[in-house]
Structure 1
């Protein structure tokens, strides 16, 4: 309900030209991912993607610099949601918990953003393609470094730190990113390739991160026991 003297802010709807451009871009993304999932990344050309949408190669390059950029379009979308989720965590929350909760609490929202563009199953299939394609896996590691830098700066800002003077934000985010990559590799190589299985594995691994870094893994075993026969 509108109250007197309080204007209602509305987000302007994109114009017809912008909507047409967005539909073409989204169609190119969906076609590319479907081709990558069925033919493989190396078995798909830019011409194949353009033909699937009935546009020219020139039109494809108006939207994307190449196959790599379109392959990572949806992961980038998901990553941007994670960054915003970390930025929105309660200010008193410990940095590791803020990262963990941003991923796990925001899981449905991230998947919802993906599904507005492509079916979630298709996105997950392409995640496996990325893991198994050397050129994409190398690109993924490079892009992960960029994401970690962005997250480190968000964490530093939350904690009132200078990210270039205090190494803790970058160290923490690097460890967190490593746990995420281990999770994705194990999930990709496993038998249950559902989003639910990925979330469960992610939660289990993130719960292990703090203890893995801080605890003595041999707690409960005395030095004498190691020498017993």
Structure 2
């Protein structure tokens, strides 16, 4: 007589899949930051979690996909926050408030995936690894286009006819890149620290655009 065991409940299966994905992500980032991105293989990541290479590719399309998974979360959270800002806010103010509000809420989401300190080390790795930095810059350009379209929609403009949405987003993104580099070069891996740096840089942004830099 064959004994048939009931299949795991969908909720249990989903939780197991999520746990495996989270373990693979953390193992990948730990290996990338300890021995180098180029030097790490998918086999090593899989072995660290005791799963097959095939299982890794069920969750990630590539090593690069794993390297940027947390950044995907942060960027998606920011775009959603910009989209939800009150319609009466000027574009630059909407993005400013959105990025500061996003840092108030995204820390917990990051910590649900990996320790914030590990994310900081990964960000430093991205900035110092040519292949990852090139991808990071390309992704930044893609994000700028998404944001420009969000801003254009908020303002009732045609993004392909009016250059202002892309211009304001490009300027804002420049400040964000400086903020990220400053945070990545520091030693304080906290949401509070990056929020403080972001606020300080944005507070100086408008004065940087002034014709006379000596007026306060």
> What is the aligned partner in structure 2 of residue 141 from structure 1?
137
2:179 pairs, out of 176, 183, 189, with: 183
- Aligned pair in 2 of structure 1 residues 209, 141: CA closer, same or farther (>3 Å)? same
- Runs of 5+ in structure 1 lacking a partner? 1-12, 221-229
- Aligned pair in 2 of structure 1 residues 163, 14: CA closer, same or farther (>3 Å)? farther
**Residues 1:99 and 2:98 aligned together:** no
Question: Cα distance, 1:193 vs. partner?
Answer: 4.4
Question: Cα distance, 1:116 vs. partner?
Answer: 1.2
> What is the aligned partner in structure 1 of residue 151 from structure 2?
155
Question: Cα distance, 1:21 vs. partner?
Answer: 1.9
* Distance (whole Å) between structure 2 residues aligned to residue 137 and residue 149 of structure 1: 19
**Residues 1:195 and 2:186 aligned together:** no
SS at match of 1:15: helix
Structure number with larger C-alpha Rg:
1
- Aligned pair in 2 of structure 1 residues 111, 14: CA closer, same or farther (>3 Å)? farther
Note if contact 1:124-1:195 (Cα within 8 Å) is conserved in structure 2.
no
Note if contact 1:152-1:173 (Cα within 8 Å) is conserved in structure 2.
yes
> What is the aligned partner in structure 2 of residue 217 from structure 1?
212
1:97-139 alpha-carbon deviations (Å, 9 max, x no partner):
1101111122121111111111111111111111111111111
Question: Cα distance, 1:203 vs. partner?
Answer: 1.0
> What is the aligned partner in structure 2 of residue 109 from structure 1?
105
- Aligned pair in 2 of structure 1 residues 160, 207: CA closer, same or farther (>3 Å)? same
- Runs of 5+ in structure 2 lacking a partner? 1-8
Count of equivalent residues: 208
SS at match of 1:106: helix
- Aligned pair in 2 of structure 1 residues 153, 26: CA closer, same or farther (>3 Å)? same
Higher relative contact order (CA 8 A, sep 6+): 2
Question: Cα distance, 1:14 vs. partner?
Answer: 6.2
